[in-house]
Amino acid sequence: MSSGIAYTKPSITELEVGYATDAARNGWGTQCYDYIHRFEMLFREHLGVRHAIATSSCTGALHMGLAALEVGPGDEVILADSNWIASAAPITYLGATPVFVDIDPVSWCMAPEAAEAAITEKTKAIIAVHLYGNLCDMDRLLAIGEKHGISVIEDAAEAIGSVYHGKRAGAIGRFGTFSFHGTKTLTTGEGGIFVTNDDALHEQVLTLSNHGRARSQTRQFWPDTVGFKYKMSNLQAAIGCGQMERIGELIARKRAIFAYYRERLAGLPGITLNPEPDGVEIGAWMPTVVFAPETGIRREHLQAAFAAADIDARVFFYPLSGLPMFSPRRDNRHAWEIPERAFNLPSYHDMCLADQNRVIAVLEGLLRV
């Protein structure tokens, strides 16, 4: 009997275990930030940015970044309707309103023309979410932001390893955020990071990240404003340091898994995978198939077929505006329709070709029916 196939799981080696053990034994007192600072440095160097602040989650990083931009009640923030709720939740924490727009049917990321059409006098920012490691059209979004005087932010939670015309995802907008959840290409268990090249914005977020205590403040236990507690622990950062030393290998493995899917599925009619246009290299965090409408294959068929094969694939994100806490935006046609015929494929680091072939066989079987 074949064993089940997980959709994702981390790659943890003795390197990470060794660093975590050292942090548990020795990372206290004056050494309690050592691995955090090292992790931030390694991430800055990898991304090519000036500043990085490790956080307890990508959600927390996004929350602090938006707060530093003074997003608040009465403001609007534009983002694509096809996203996980973590991209929208921090907007609501600050009392602002998320404005959901349609996605591009090829990239599944925010459609720039839809974003521009949604701009009002209340718009404070645009969040470009690089869905599943696919990349938003950053040139067009940055031009829109500059034209209207609006900050363009990158939610690169899923885009470790993605490169847009020579620049790494997350290093292009006013600021970027990443996730290191256990499902991600690079993990610290839970965790995230805020990155920016904006010196003043970095200083604001650094103050907010430390309960509102500015690093220039000489008085002990004296907060200068009400801040947050979204710090990454030294133990988590120790694991992250090991992962960063292996970042090239981790990204390359994700891309190799995606390349095999793309090669094997290329001849199947009615299926498209994550696009990789000229000048773009995707980190391929989540290989995803979208079935053409004429195939008649829907989400429920995919769920049943993969469950029968003991394969833990997962559904495409539902439109955020379809969730009970938001108002429906059915005019976001692609964001509402594509999830009904799309699925994420397993792609964990140690996945073998035999397991990938099992996944491919399910897709082939569906198209033969």
Residue 338: partners with Cβ closer than 8 Å, 6 or more residues away: 82, 103, 105, 108, 290, 316
Coil, helix or strand for 189?
strand
Does residue 231 share a domain with residue 101? yes
Is the residue at 5 inside a domain?
Answer: no
Is the residue at 68 inside a domain?
Answer: yes
- Cα 215 from Cα 224, distance rounded (Å): 10
Is the residue at 215 inside a domain?
Answer: yes
Does residue 83 share a domain with residue 57? yes
- Domain end call among 182, 214, 245: 245
Is the residue at 7 inside a domain?
Answer: no
What CATH number is associated with residue 354?
A: 3.90.1150.10
Does residue 153 share a domain with residue 46? yes
Print pLDDT tens along the chain (369 aa): 458 999 999 999 999 999 999 999 999 999 999 999 999 999 999 999 999 999 999 999 999 999 999 999 999 999 999 999 999 999 999 999 999 999 999 999 999 999 999 999 999 999 999 999 999 999 999 999 999 999 999 999 999 999 999 999 999 999 999 999 999 999 999 999 999 999 999 999 999 999 999 999 999 999 999 999 999 999 999 999 999 999 999 999 999 999 999 999 998 999 999 999 999 999 999 999 999 999 999 999 999 999 999 999 999 999 999 999 999 999 999 999 999 999 999 999 999 999 999 999 999 999 986
- Domain end call among 180, 213, 245: 245
Does residue 122 share a domain with residue 189? yes
Residue 177: partners with Cβ closer than 8 Å, 6 or more residues away: 58, 61, 62, 65, 153, 154, 155, 156, 157, 170, 192, 193, 194, 195
Residue 362, both tokens = 């399910």
Closest among 265, 320, 309, 305 to 288, alpha carbons compared: 265
Structural domain count, the chain: 2
* Residue-wise DSSP of 262-320: HHHHTTSTTEEE----TTEE---SS-EEEE-GGG---HHHHHHHHHHTTB--EEPPPBG
Does residue 332 share a domain with residue 218? no
Does residue 52 share a domain with residue 160? yes
Does residue 338 share a domain with residue 240? no
Does residue 285 share a domain with residue 348? yes
Whether the CB-CB separation of 80 and 100 falls below 8 Å is answered with: yes
Is the residue at 100 inside a domain?
Answer: yes
Coil, helix or strand for 68?
helix
| Domain span at 296 | 247-368
66 φ, ψ (degrees, to nearest 5) = -65, -40
Does residue 209 share a domain with residue 127? yes
